[in-house]
Structure 1
């Protein structure tokens, strides 16, 4: 049975940065034994998760968010480290941390507030930007939290990139990659 697609707004990560993340992870996969690794084309930083959307709502939310971000400036970000969500002994999500720069939080607030005003029910927890890399710990031993620092490929030199585009993605869970760009808006250079 096919599930209804979900939609979310996200920062698009440049292709060369996605490739670099992927290449760096190949060196640490034997240490971080997660069951499901995210396809490199699916790397992103979520701004607002909409969930299921009535197709008739899509043109409106695309227009509203496009108008809301039309004057937002592009900015630089860095991928700095690795972390996990869930139990520290058997984490459910493995992710890359990004520097929490003010322009990212401003952009997220604009997108979030615009979606709320359009009638969407959104996440109420504080915003915690990250790039999901893998899911479900699969190691035969407990996860070692110290490995996050000891084997961080981004520790010595953070991976820097320009944030200049946000995208509305549609999830296609049966496909690889799973996320399809439905609409995109460039930030002002």
Structure 2
């Protein structure tokens, strides 16, 4: 059985992605730290559920199970918030933008998780905490964010579909391949 790393997430629309690229560039200048591996612009997304390893032959069944779980949900919007060190300022792994959590987004992540479980795979047990990764720390440690650093101009993201991506890690950063896009009702 061939397995892959995969995740379900929310793809950013082109306009939101372009807005964030300028912000990330200014952040890179202000945090000129070689310990940070910045996310490629095309990789910016909001993760819903991550699968460490899934059999390639199970992908159609996984998609079917997740599709069943998200039926009846309607499209909605999320707002990107301030810059944060994730999962905590004391032990950061990534620099991210907070995603203003609300019940609809948490419900969507939960339903995707239920579909994953029904397909025979495990999900993370920690509570869902949405964020958008801007960069990963190569070596875990402290990062000092400038006190005046808050975030990008408010960016509202429409959630009209969710995507299943394969994630292939490399030294330059992960490469994502879109496997499936699943529409949410309007």
Instruction: Tell me, yes or no, if structure 1 residue 105 matches structure 2 residue 102.
Output: no
Alpha-carbon distance change, 89 to 70 in structure 1, aligned in 2, over 3 angstroms: closer
**2:70 and 2:112 in contact (8 A); partners too:** yes
Query: In the aligned structure 1, how far is the partner of 2:165 from the partner of 2:94?
Result: 20
Aligned-residue offset at 1:97: 0.5
Deviates more, 1:82-91 or 1:176-185: 82-91
Instruction: Tell me, yes or no, if structure 1 residue 158 matches structure 2 residue 157.
Output: no
Query: In the aligned structure 2, how far is the partner of 1:77 from the partner of 1:90?
Result: 26
**1:137 and 1:143 in contact (8 A); partners too:** no
Match of 1:118 in 2: 119
CA RMSD of aligned residues (A): 2.4
1:170 is aligned, of 166, 171, 182, to 166
User: What does the per-residue CA deviation read over 1:57-85, in whole Å, with 9 as the maximum and x for residues that have no partner?
Assistant: 11101111122223211001111111012
Instruction: Tell me, yes or no, if structure 1 residue 143 matches structure 2 residue 131.
Output: no
Query: What are the within-5 Å matches in structure 2 for residues 23-102 of structure 1?
Result: 23-32=22-31, 33=33, 34-85=35-86, 88=89, 91-102=92-103
Aligned-residue offset at 1:127: 0.5
Match of 2:177 in 1: 180
Structure 2 stretches lacking a partner, 5+ long:
none
Query: In the aligned structure 2, how far is the partner of 1:152 from the partner of 1:113?
Result: 34
TM-score (normalised: structure 1): 0.85
Structure 1 stretches lacking a partner, 5+ long:
none
Could you say what secondary structure the match of 1:127 adopts?
Answer: coil
The count of residues paired between Structure 1 and Structure 2 equals: 181
Could you say what secondary structure the match of 1:53 adopts?
Answer: strand
Could you say what secondary structure the match of 1:18 adopts?
Answer: helix
Which ranges of 4 or more aligned residues in structure 1 deviate by more than 3 Å?
A: 86-91, 174-177
